[in-house]
Structure 1
Amino acid sequence: MTLVEDRTTTTTAVRRDVPTETPAATWRLLSLVVGLLGLVVVVAAAHVVQGTADVGVRDLVSWLLGRSDSGTAAVVIDSRLPRLAAGALVGVALGVAGCVMQSMSRNLLASPDTLAVNAGAFVALAAAGGLGLGATLFGDLGLAFAGGLLGAALVLGLAGTEYGTVRLVLAGTVVALVLRSVATTFLILNPLETRGLHAWEAGSLSQNSFDTVTAMLPVVLVAIAALTLMVRRLDVLSLGDDEARALGVPVRQTQLIVLMLAVLLSAAAVTVAGPIAFVGLVAPGLTRLVVGRVPGLHRHRVLLPVTALVGITITLAADVVVRAMIGSQRAVMVPTGIMTSLLGGLLMIGFAFRLRAQRLGTRSDDLDVRGRGTTHPYLLIAGLTLVLAALIATALLVGDATFLLGDLVQWLTGRSDGLVAAVLDARAPRVVAAVLAGVALAVAGTMTQAVTRNALADPAIIGVSGGAAVGAVVVVTAVPTASFWVLAGAAGAGALLAAALVFGLAARGGFATDRLVLVGVGVAFLATALVTLMIVTTDPYNASKALTWLSGSTYGRSFEHLVPLAVACAALIPAAVLGYRHLDLVSIDDDTPRVLGVRLPLARLGLLACAVLLTATSVAAIGLVTFVGLVTPHAARTLVGRRHALVIPVAALLGASLMVVADLVGRTVMAPAQLPVSLLTALIGGPYFFYLLRRAARS
């Protein structure tokens, strides 16, 4: 399997020049299968002897021969074998599901994660728990199946017919962000009913008995048997839709059946162990990388069982590595999905460099809406300023205690009474935090998209925000008493490191647009896994503090906390406005700036540094917030065209307005419960971005 490029889009497809099957080739295939079986046995043995009780290889052999004492047998059977069986079942289900998803879409990056199947299953179960809908085991399976099917349908609908492009991955990432925001809302609003879902969200193989595994085993076997009957259709689909139709294969019907069976497998895996990430991407991805060297492996009658073995190996090995690194006692609380997320992020970065993507300056997507805009841009800016002022006043007046405009005037002039002063003194920093963060993220997104000439380059999606989160969580968990300046510095260092990694790797290919997105998404997944690892391994107090901060909230903010962000906005946003001509030029191509005397590398570095620092200080101030830096530049370009002298202020006003609305709604709609602003920005900005994706798919 290689990544190839057709005349119009960058796609992934199966190589047709596979080696000829000969007796020597058959032995090579058999050697691969036997080697994988041996590796599974070794990893399974290592998995069984790990644990809090002292059970070694000798005890395992004695148990297999029926010579062990009852205590050893009880430890192995009642504790470790159910976990081993769960890992094997999850590895088979996710490996096969990812394999057929890739075959169906002819996209190496398709998986239950990138198609938002796991996110859909999780949000369905979280909603059921939050609404108090008790379900039996198969009821959980039905909910997970319905949620996963909904997630996949949204992704495929947004991607249109371009299953093989990076748009599919982007659509899946955005849909997963929105669905997980919905799930987090249920977790926050119903902490008692959903308290078990927090640890389960990252995917854990811990089992109390064989009950769940034995219940899901028939489901997995039936789904795999049905897919086995369709191996010939899957082989033909790898040739392309037109060739498949010419050979009598009903393409859309086959894709629908395959998708439903893959979702069923993913739902069974989620029911057993939660949404363990990226096994469905890594297992088939690694298997397809050796297709060209092992004749016969490209046929799905062989590819499916081999991928299942690789899935078992990856799942069990991830569990073994986690427990070996941090010890069996602490590993009880560490989800296996953390390690598989690390593998998935690394593999996505690796796949990015196998992609013959279009270079910077070419148009690899049509999401960058650049209309002529209004003929009266300054009237528009004045109107948006008045709207923002009205929203700020409303946000100050409305909340758990509602005041009149006269009360606000009295407070501003220092003549208000004790109650009004106390409430507004606590409320004002939240509103100011929302305004500053919205401005910073919107301008950072505008600059990033202009410099990279990539309309998909949002600081959150391409990993910069994730890097800032890693740096900040290190401080929150390791030095919880550190000052806010230390937190801001750590977030800035993390963001700069992530940006250097993303842009440095993408620069090797000339800032190829698709490659930049894939590398950024991979780094974002790596950052998420590292953050989760730090949270689950620290003490509960620090974990709660980190989770509250990561959710992206203005709750509890004071003006002292906003000083780094205010300084960054005061210093960097005027620099961005003054550098609007450079943004205009670098957003065109590489040649025009050089002809006009612009030192392109230096200009690009300076502008990106401003965007990264704005993102880092925003993350340090209020945590992770998504979609603001992605959708506001699009909306601004739609309103005023592509001149950055106008785009920057309009995007800043839109970003501030979006954040103020999100903060206001978050603290009033479910009062006294508080919804983080990141949840609201995802629910507001997500649908707008869905519209952009769907518009691109139609065109």
Structure 2
Amino acid sequence: MSDAARPGSGAPAGPVLAPEPPGTPLRRLGTAGVFVLTLAAVVLMAAAHVTQGTSSIGAFDLLALPFGGDEEAARVLLASRLPRLLAGVAVGVALGVAGSLLQSVARNPMASPDTLAVSSGAHVAVATAAAFGLALPLPVSGGLALVGGLAAAGLVMALSAGGRAGTTRLILAGSATALALQSLTNLVMILFEEETTGLFAWGSGSLVQSDFGAVAQFGPLIAAVTVVAVLAGPRVDILGLGDDTAAVLGVNVRRLRGWLVLMAVLLAAAAVTIAGPIGFVGLCAPVIVRLLPRTIPGLHRNRALLPLSGLAGALIVLGSDILLRAALGGQAGVEVPPGVVTTILGAGVMIWLARRYRDAGPTRRPPAVRTGGTRSRGAFLAVVTVCAVLLVAAVVAGLLGGDRWLLTGDVLNWLQGRSGRALTFVLDQRWPRVLAAVLAGAALAVAGAAVQAVCRNPLAEPGVLGVTAGAGVGAIALLAAAPLAGVWMMSATAGAGALVTFAAVYALSWRGGLHSDRLVLIGIAMQAACTSVTVLIIVKADPWNTALALTWLSGSTYGRVPAQLVPVVLALLVTVPLLAWLRRDLDLLALDEDTPRVLGVPLEPVRLAALAGAVVLTSTAVSAVGVVGFVGLVAPHAARALVGSRHARMLPVAALLGALLVSLADTLGRTVIAPAQVPAGLVTALIGTPYFVYLLWRARAQADAS
């Protein structure tokens, strides 16, 4: 392995390519030649970009403008196409340079404004301002985006030890933080639907510009920060040699790293303010540049790497916009965000990186939660009894709470068939919701326990494998195509989406065996791709009516009917006995790779059976209540802390805790701001994020101590 790919060697780990023989055309071309070719590609891409649009004005009309062409063509060019083009170039350059800086700081090829949740932090700040009707000037919006991005990046970098403690922990920390921030953004858009109309598509990046105002104000800032970053390139090169070496050579490591992160976040915040969060450009652009041969003198030093990454970012953004409008028509440039295309492209790059690199970070083993050793049978039964009593209390509270509070006597009368018409109507609407929350919570918790055992990663959950997002793609596609589709069709479509996604993740993760870190990284990439496909379906179906889809994607029990619960019940009846039968194998599987083989456990069949069970449970839960996050992470961890890590005891306690968590989240969502409602998935995300942060911080403290 070369120094470029060796952990802790300094430079961000990049693809290991065979050196190009001396005298080849690219070597003779040199760094200046590469710059010239890249600039030429940007110019050609820009020329193609301005010929596209919703009007019939084409290339010949634009070429005739210097010779007194049509005034309408000049108006369209200045009012629409040039602002869009310049926005694409500015955003691409900003994200490319930001991604390169973050990868250098973290010495990690998967660091980017997206994986460090910078874009999500900036987005939630801008969306919150819009929700409260604040018509802020662009510089103030940019300042808000900067604050949000800095806060998110600081949290992720702190939790992942600056990204140097392992790729898996960096990506998990970033994805969890981004999920929490996206949940907060979705909550704002649901509660302030009128004020945030159109922000859903903008949340995936939109290049639609009404004038040159945004580019004129932030373009000089992007250029200035880029120049400063390029001038600091030699010191960044020294930083890449390692903290100790850099300190010996006179570099103040902490100060330099802080300034580099600030510049990267400033660039990402400017990009978000101009066009919204366009995903994964900051990941793809530096990786593409690093693929260029290392035999070209000076090409991989930061003075060349940073501006080339910016140009590559511009190529990615413009190319994605061209591809989108060429495939779906000019109107798609208005309705469909180009961030959908860049995110799918970035997911492909992330999968490619995950297949090439093996992470041995601290997340390979669970952080040492207090399992209490081997609990006695009496203690286990006591925990189960307490959890069951709490669950019953939560169910009762769910039946009583809502926009209209009831009494326990009302529920007893309803159970005996002696309640009035109005009371009967209310409870007939509530009990399927309460039961849906209980069943979905139990299913997601059991699925999370299975995923954590197979991945040997306590920070994993079904959503990390892309299963939840895949089920969401299937369900949203059906909602868009046939809004009145039946329950079984919804369950089948969600299940098909989950199974297809899982099959793809499993196949891509297999490389001479199933590696747990690779499985997690590829699953997160697939999750991002499926989320972008979901956005594409929603904005194409009805870009101005996203409240229903947003509510469903945030996990809601609203409008549940008894028939929708049947698939979840069947999945639990089939899968829970299967996992209980495999309980001893799962105990061994959670230890390491070698112990199960030595003891004769058929490793791959057990993994496949456990993951298939998790997929079935997750897909049916998604079809019943939508996308609910963090339950599969929090419930197994809490169960492990209460009764130990043996699956014979942990699985039933996890199921009870998962049911309790979703039930309480649903009740809180229905009562806190009644008659308005907060989807249960948003409540679980906001509850689960602090616990996830605690786990990551504990894991870092243990890694530092060791």
How does the TM-score come out when normalised to structure 2?
Answer: 0.94
CA distance in 1, matches of 2:173, 2:281: 19
Q: 1:283 to 1:11 in 2, by over 3 A?
A: closer
Conservation of the 8 A alpha-carbon contact between 1:396 and 1:424? yes
Which residue is 2:585 aligned to? Answer: 582
Pick from 195, 201, 204: which aligns with 1:202? 204
TM-superposed CA distance for 1:89, in Å, is 0.6
- Could you tell me whether the CA contact under 8 Å between 1:4 and 1:356 is conserved in 2? no
Higher deviation after alignment, 398-407 or 484-493: 398-407
1:471 corresponds to: 474
- 1:106 corresponds to which residue? 107
Residue 171 (structure 1) aligned with residue 173 (structure 2): yes
Give the AA of the match of 1:76.
Answer: L
Is the contact made by 2:103 and 2:112 (CA closer than 8 Å) also made in structure 1?
yes
Residue by residue over 1:150-186, the C-alpha shift from the partner in whole angstroms, topping out at 9 and shown as x without a partner, is: 1111111211244352211211111111111111111
Two-structure CA RMSD over aligned residues (Å): 2.5
Q: Aligned equivalents of 2:589 and 2:411: distance in 1?
A: 45
* Distance change in 2, residues 1:269/1:8 (3 Å): closer
User: Deviations for 1:508-566, whole angstroms, at most 9, x for unmatched residues?
Assistant: 25322321121011100110111111111113598554333222100111112111112
> Does the Cα contact within 8 Å between 2:116 and 2:170 map onto a contact in 1?
yes
Which structure 2 residues correspond to residues 223-238 of structure 1 after superposition, within 5 A?
223-238=225-240
Match of 1:419, SS state, is helix
What SS does the corresponding residue of 2:5 show, helix, strand or coil? strand
Match of 1:413 in 2: 416
Tell me, yes or no, if the aligned pair for 1:2 and 1:14 is still in contact at 8 Å. Answer: no
Deviation at 1:9, TM superposition (A): 13
Cα deviation 1:220-256 (Å, max 9, x = unaligned): 1221222123111111111111111111111110011
Q: Distance in 2 between matches of 1:14 and 1:452?
A: 24
Indicate which of 537, 541, 553 corresponds to 1:538.
Answer: 541
Aligned to 1:483: 486
CA 1:219–1:470 in structure 2 vs 1: closer, same or farther (change >3 Å)? same
Which residue matches 1:372? 372
Instruction: State how far apart, in whole Å, the 2-side matches of 1:299 and 1:620 are.
Output: 50
Tell me which of 652, 671, 680 is aligned to 2:674: 671
Are residues 164 and 142 of structure 1, via their aligned partners in 2, closer, same or farther at CA, if it must alter by over 3 Å?
A: same
Aligned residues: 696
Q: Which residue of 2 aligns with 1:268?
A: 270
C-alpha distance in structure 2 between counterparts of 1:567 and 1:443, whole Å? 14
Aligned partner of 2:610: which letter? L
| Greater mean alpha carbon deviation, residues 499-508 or residues 73-82 | 499-508
Cα distance in structure 1, aligned partners of 2:9 and 2:426: 58
Rounded Cα–Cα distance in structure 2 between residues aligned with 1:59 and 1:698: 64
8 Å CA contact 2:97, 2:309 repeated in 1: yes
Determine helix, strand or coil for the equivalent of 2:50: helix
Corresponding residue of 1:94: 95
State the Cα distance separating 1:295 from its structure 2 match. 2.6
- For 2:91 and 2:577, the matched residues in 1 are separated by 52
Query: Is 1:454–2:457 an aligned residue pair?
Result: yes
1:637 and 2:645 aligned: no
- Other-structure match for 1:155: 156
- Greater shift, 239-248 or 49-58, is seen at 49-58
Distance 1:685 1:28, change over 3 A: same
Q: CA deviation at 1:597?
A: 4.6
Query: 1:637, CA displacement in angstroms?
Result: 1.1
Unpaired runs of at least 5, structure 1: none
Is 1:80 aligned to residue 81 of structure 2? yes
Q: What amino acid does structure 1 have at the position aligned with 2:653?
A: V
Q: Tell whether the 8 Å contact from 2:298 to 2:304 is kept in structure 1 after alignment.
A: yes
Structure-2 separation of matches of 1:268 and 1:305: 17
Shift of residue 66, structure 1, vs aligned partner: 3.9
Structure 1 residue 8, shift from structure 2 partner: 12
Q: Kindly report which structure 2 residues correspond to 1:503-514, keeping only aligned pairs within 5 A, or say none.
A: 503-514=506-517
Q: By how many angstroms is 1:291 displaced?
A: 5.0
Judge conservation of contact 2:108–2:163 (CA < 8 Å) in 1: no
Provide the secondary structure at the position in 2 that maps to 1:461. Answer: helix
2:64 match: secondary structure: helix
Deviates more, 1:299-308 or 1:677-686: 299-308
Bigger drift between 394-403 and 372-381 goes to 372-381
How far apart are 1:261 and its partner, in Å? Answer: 1.1
8 Å CA contact 1:11–1:164 kept in 2: the answer is no
Counterpart Cα distance in 1 of 2:598 and 2:111? 42
Structure 1 stretch displaced more, 495-504 or 527-536: 495-504
The match for 1:134 is 135
**Which of 550, 554, 565 does residue 551 from structure 1 map onto?**
554
Partner in structure 1 of residue 621 of structure 2: 618
Counterpart of 1:552 in 2: which secondary structure?
Answer: coil
Per the alignment, residue 296 of structure 1 pairs with: 298
Question: Aligned residue for 2:495?
Answer: 492
Partner amino acid for 1:419? A
**Alpha-carbon spacing, 1:654–1:301, altered in 2? closer, same or farther (3 Å):** same
Q: Does residue 561 in structure 1 map to residue 564 in structure 2?
A: yes
Q: Structure 1 residues 16 and 612, CA, compared in 2 at 3 Å: closer, same or farther?
A: closer
Equivalent AA in structure 1 for residue 119 of structure 2 = N
| Cα distance change on mapping 1:445 and 1:336 into 2, 3 Å | same
Q: Quick one: percent identity of the two aligned structures?
A: 47
CA distance in 1, matches of 2:304, 2:125: 34
1:277 aligns to 2:291 (yes or no): no
- The verdict on how the C-alpha distance between 1:354 and 1:294 changes in structure 2, with shifts beyond 3 A counting, is farther
Contact 2:347 2:529 in 1 (8 A): yes
Q: Give CA deviations for 1:650-675 in whole Å, capped at 9, x if unaligned.
A: 11011011101110111111111111
Q: Contact (CA 8 Å) 1:120, 1:144: kept in 2 or not?
A: yes
Opposite residue 227 of structure 1, the aligned amino acid is A
